[in-house]
Structure 1
Amino acid sequence: MIEMQNVSKWYGDFKVLTDCTTKVATGEVVVVCGPSGSGKSTLIKCVNGLEPVQQGRITVDGAEVTGRGAKLTKLRAKIGMVFQHFELYPHMSVRDNLCLAQEKVLGRSRKEAETRAETLLTRVGMIDHIAKYPGQLSGGQQQRVAI
């Protein structure tokens, strides 16, 4: 579960988020939508601890994101996030991009990571592109790899 209580975030004098309060239950699907510049990405980055908040509290599965001593690495291992520009490493193949976090964050062996990557790529119709580099893929294909 994700819970936000009175979360506010600003950059200098520009307040991006003001008193955001919500709960998202485990398994619930939520869409964050709004015009460009309305704070959608900032909100999601705050939930993942990538952006600090000036006020309020965020908890994910009972673990506080906004508190001192938050175990963000452990938290991020459980939260999936796709950046707007996908953030794939251009010098690494699709296979290597998909295996990196599994090995470094989740502690999986290379073989386990490759098996999982192949399963997921098959699921999204991308298995034929496993040896390609991001620059060899369309934007939609890059997005599927990132997801």
Structure 2
Amino acid sequence: MRKNFGALAVLKGIDLDVAPGEVVALIGRSGSGKSTALRCVNGLEKVDGGELTVCGRALHSGTVDLRELRQDVGIVFQSYNLFPHLTVEQNVTLAPRKVKRIGKGEARDLAAEVLAQVGLADKAQSYPEQLSGGQQQRVAIARVTHEMAFARSVAHAVVFMHQGKVWESGKGEMLANPQTVELRQFVGNGL
């Protein structure tokens, strides 16, 4: 699949197969093409080239009922913005509790661990507005750390995107042994 915005090539030949019921974690830096790829898969953007088949439906044909498609395809977009009405702990544990349905106690233990790693263990019950800008950034880092661990444990496959292409894909264990410098750098900053 290819997607351009004017002269800017955002997706440069993405090839990705996802089986029914499979959970895939699409990871990468901001601007790597993740959100655009997901928007194409969900029919929110039209592809400019290649084929895109979702649940046996050829999206590139233009004949797919998007409402019907969206009932069969679930996509969770990641945002680094903190939810102002949630505590720091709740911001860190939201995705694993909702998607994986882990228990509150386990989620709190995991949050405590990653918040300690970023020096914010004492801020778990604070709200984002009560934190400095730097502390809010560290909460975002804790959430990413938690989500990367979540991706490793929940996803059937992990796909690392960089510069509009898939650079690495495989099981979650690949994050422990990256094959490319780019993924090593990404994992080093995110875990």
TM-score, normalised via structure 1 length: 0.57
Corresponding residue SS for 2:12: strand
1:128 and 2:122 are equivalent in the alignment = yes
Aligned length: 111
- Which structure has the higher relative contact order (CA within 8 Å, separation 6+)? 2
Work out whether residues 46 and 53 of structure 1, in 8 Å CA contact, stay in contact via their aligned partners in 2: no
1:8 and 2:11 are equivalent in the alignment = no
Counterpart residue type for residue 46 of structure 1: T
1:20 and 2:15 are equivalent in the alignment = no
Counterpart residue type for residue 106 of structure 1: K
Counterpart residue type for residue 8 of structure 1: K
Bigger share in strand: 1
Partner of 2:106: 112
Counterpart residue type for residue 87 of structure 1: N
TM-score, normalised via structure 2 length: 0.46
Counterpart residue type for residue 45 of structure 1: S
Distance 1:68 1:31, change over 3 A: closer
Partner of 1:35: none
2:34 to 31, 44, 49: 44
Work out whether residues 103 and 109 of structure 1, in 8 Å CA contact, stay in contact via their aligned partners in 2: yes
Unaligned ranges ≥5, structure 2 = 16-26, 56-68, 145-191
Partner of 1:55: 48
Counterpart residue type for residue 54 of structure 2: R
| Whole-Å separation in 1 of the counterparts to 2:134 and 2:99 | 26
- Deviation sequence 1:68-90 (CA, Å, 0-9, x none): 238754x75xxx94x4xx32110
1:91 and 2:100 are equivalent in the alignment = no
- Deviation sequence 1:101-138 (CA, Å, 0-9, x none): 11111110001111111111111111111111011112
RMSD in angstroms over aligned alpha carbons? Answer: 3.4
Work out whether residues 9 and 53 of structure 1, in 8 Å CA contact, stay in contact via their aligned partners in 2: no
Partner of 1:67: 53
Distance 1:19 1:116, change over 3 A: closer
Instruction: Tell me by how many angstroms 1:22 deviates.
Output: 7.0
Partner of 1:100: 94
Corresponding residue SS for 1:131: coil
Work out whether residues 97 and 103 of structure 2, in 8 Å CA contact, stay in contact via their aligned partners in 1: yes
Corresponding residue SS for 2:139: helix
